[in-house]
Amino acid sequence: TAPIETLEFQSEARQLLQLMIHSIYSNKDTFLRELVSNASDALDKLRLEAFRDKELQADTSDLHVAIEIDSEQRTLTVRDNGIGMSRDEVISLIGTIAKSGTAEFLRKLKESQDAAASQELIGQFGVGFYASFMVADKVTLVTRKAGSDEGVRWESEGAGTYTIEPVADAPQGTAVTLHLKPVDAEDQLFDYTSAAKVREIVKRYSDFLTWPIRMAAEPTEEGAEPTVETVNSMKALWARASSEVTEQEYTEFYKHISHDWNDPLETVRFQAEGTFEYQALLFIPSRAPMDLFMRERKRGVQLYVKRVFIMDDCEALMPEYLRFVKGVVDAADLSLNVSREILQQDRQIQLIRKRLVKRVLSTVKSLDAEKYGTFWKEFGRAVKEGLLDDFDNREAILEICSFESTHDADKPTRLAQYVERMKEGQEHIYYLTGESRTAIENSPHLEAFQAKGFEVLVLTDPIDEMWVDAVPGFEGKQFQSIAKGQVDLDENQDEEQKAEFAGLLTWMGSALEEHVKEVRLSSRLTTSPACIVGDSHDMTPTLEKMYRAMGQ
């Protein structure tokens, strides 16, 4: 007989499983969405692999998902005949969590005392396969990688360890069998052995999947031969008329492709006809993912060619500063063999990307105040990277940016609003950068500007230091640091004052010779006796500190 090995889950995985076993997530139905979503991905992967590798010994004649219920054993099985997993893949994909941001997520979760906040965190993280343990006290997975003849059986009760063993004659693909927990009304655990309930969940969450999801049909009469039926309508959402697709369907589709459990903030859909046909369905999420600022962060747009999935994270379709945008582009005239390298060079793809970017920016611009507020809070920092990366769209990016300002401490302002409030004769958009709002508010540089009623942008994000130097202006108005150079408040001091302080200035100039270039009278202060200013082309103190911290 074959050896059974007992292995330990990686510690992050173990912690996550504990959360699932203790079911702190209230919408338990999501487990089925996750399993069906994984099965569908596995079918996508096999189709593509078989197309690319003609030698692959795999059966692709009837790719589908099957859901089987055994009410006596109280089991539910989700089976696919897709790509499957090797033994090593089962250990690394199922036994560990490779997602970046996991440690951060678990730390936040531990800190959050409040149930609603925890729910939201879990939703934002998206638990995937482990969601099974919300409804099952034991999960068995049998899989065989397409093209291989070594099957694997994995089993776990979710508590620390799992077993793994080889199995003979496992069918190609993966079958996940849940040994269901007893029904518990209080815990909102439904009876998932009810075919009607399961069918309803599949319809609700997975209707748009383009692979057939099959279940045994209700017998029409006593003793009739059992038949199977396809539960989903199998139509790609982006290929259906917009008027036929409900909000709920878009939302579920978003969750399938993004692995996010929260609803999207906004949906964007459009298409192009003619020589280069494509359809695009994009989503702006409502929460930033944990790993938005991590180096290996992927981009979120998938590429399809005539309904056939080609790749995830298609970086050729979305610039880095919009990496949080999720969605699908289905292009009609690309080869199924297209590679990432080819895509980067492809002129048509570049045109599509241009249009996607413009649409995303204009969509954000037209969001209502509440949604825009959410957007900016979640993604503003990423968007500002675009000011440095995307010269062509600079003005459009500036239009959707918000900044803190001295006008209203509680509400960031859009630049257009700043410009509207500019005083008669004010030519520049004034800003001051610093480490924090308090530091900026205490800065002597601000005094005269406040005294004279000029509004000043309060820029505290490290990236602000970079773009203010790179971006020439907004609506023809230059950005002007109030900590640099001679600021044009009204510098024509009377000669008498100059003469009166000449001695002091000369003395201070020589006393401070090693530290400053010049000591001069200024009208920029009202209560502080003195302040240090940089030359107009100098680095700001914060930027200097940043460079020093980077060792330059």
Binding site for ligand ADP (CB under 6 A): 34, 38-39, 42, 80, 82-85, 93-94, 128-129, 174, 259
Residue 70: CB minimum distance to ligand ADP, A: 19
Q: Got the DSSP string for 109-120?
A: HHH--SHHHHHH
85 binds, among Mg ion, ligand ADP, none (CB under 5 to 8 A by kind): ligand ADP
Of these partners, ligand ADP, Mg ion, none, which one is at the site of residue 264 (CB under 5 to 8 Å by kind)?
none
Tell me whether residue 38 or residue 156 sits nearer to ligand ADP (CB atom). 38
Residue 80 partner contact from Mg ion, ligand ADP, none using kind-dependent CB cut-offs of 5 to 8 Å: ligand ADP
Q: Kindly report the CA angle at 258 between 257 and 264, in degrees rounded to 5? A: 110
Give the length of the chain: 552
How close are the terminal C-alpha atoms of the chain, in Å?
63
Pair 395, 431: CB distance under 8 Å: no
Q: Residue 415 is encoded by which pair of tokens?
A: 């630049």
Residue 38 contacts Mg ion per CB under 5 A: yes
**Min separation Cβ 256 and Mg ion, Å:** 9
Q: How far is the CB of 86 from ligand ADP (least distance, A)?
A: 10
Which of residues 12 and 538 has its CB atom nearest to ligand ADP in the complex? 12
Contact criterion met (CB below 8 Å) for 174 and 141: yes
Site string for Mg ion, 289-318 (x = CB under 5 A): ------------------------------
E-assigned strand segments in 224-297: 228-230, 264-272, 278-285
Exposure string over 232-258, b if 16+ CB within 10 A, otherwise e: beebbbbeeeeeebeeebbbbbbbbbb
Rounded CA-CA distance 301/40 in Å is 17
| CA nearest neighbour of 123 among 33, 213, 14 | 33
Q: Which is nearer to ligand ADP, 99 or 235 (CB)?
A: 99
CB nearer Mg ion, residue 48 or residue 508: 48
Closest CA to 211 of 52, 85, 46, 31: 46
The least distance separating ligand ADP from the CB of residue 129, rounded to whole angstroms, comes to 3
Verify binding: residue 132, Mg ion, rule CB under 5 A: no
Partner interacting with residue 327 (select from ligand ADP, Mg ion, none; CB below 5-8 Å by kind)? none
Q: Which does 83 bind (CB under 5 to 8 A by kind): ligand ADP, Mg ion, none?
A: ligand ADP
State which residue, 83 or 316, has the beta carbon closest to ligand ADP. Answer: 83
- Nearest residue (beta carbon) to ligand ADP: 128
User: Any contact of residue 158 with Mg ion (CB under 5 A)?
Assistant: no
Distance CA 382, CA 320 (A): 8
d(CA 425, CA 115) in angstroms, rounded, equals 54
Cα–Cα dist 415/69, whole Å: 58
Is 279 a binder of Mg ion (CB under 5 A)? no
Residue whose beta carbon is closest to Mg ion: 128
For the bound state, the minimum distance from the C-beta of residue 467 to ligand ADP, rounded and expressed in Å, comes to 34
Amino acid 4 reads I
Going by C-alpha positions, the residue among 144, 146, 151, 145 that lies closest to residue 168 is 151
Closer residue to ligand ADP, CB minimum distance, 85 or 305 = 85
Cβ closest to Mg ion, residue 128 vs residue 173: 128
Q: Which stretch binds Mg ion (CB under 5 A): 121-129, 203-211, 235-243, 327-335?
A: 121-129
Query: Beta partners for 110?
Result: none
Residue 445 carries which DSSP code?
Answer: H
Q: Residue 174 touches which of Mg ion, ligand ADP, none (CB < 5 to 8 A by kind)?
A: ligand ADP
Work out how close the CB of 20 gets to ligand ADP at its nearest, in angstroms, rounded to a whole number: 11
Any contact of residue 128 with Mg ion (CB under 5 A)? yes
Rounded distance between C-alpha atoms, residue 552 and residue 549, angstroms: 7
**Cβ nearer to ligand ADP, comparing 174 with 406:** 174
Q: Which residue's CB is nearer to ligand ADP, number 93 or number 308?
A: 93
Structure tokens at 496: 């008498």
Candidates 61, 65, 13; CA nearest to 34 is: 65
Where does this chain bind Mg ion (CB under 5 A)?
38, 128
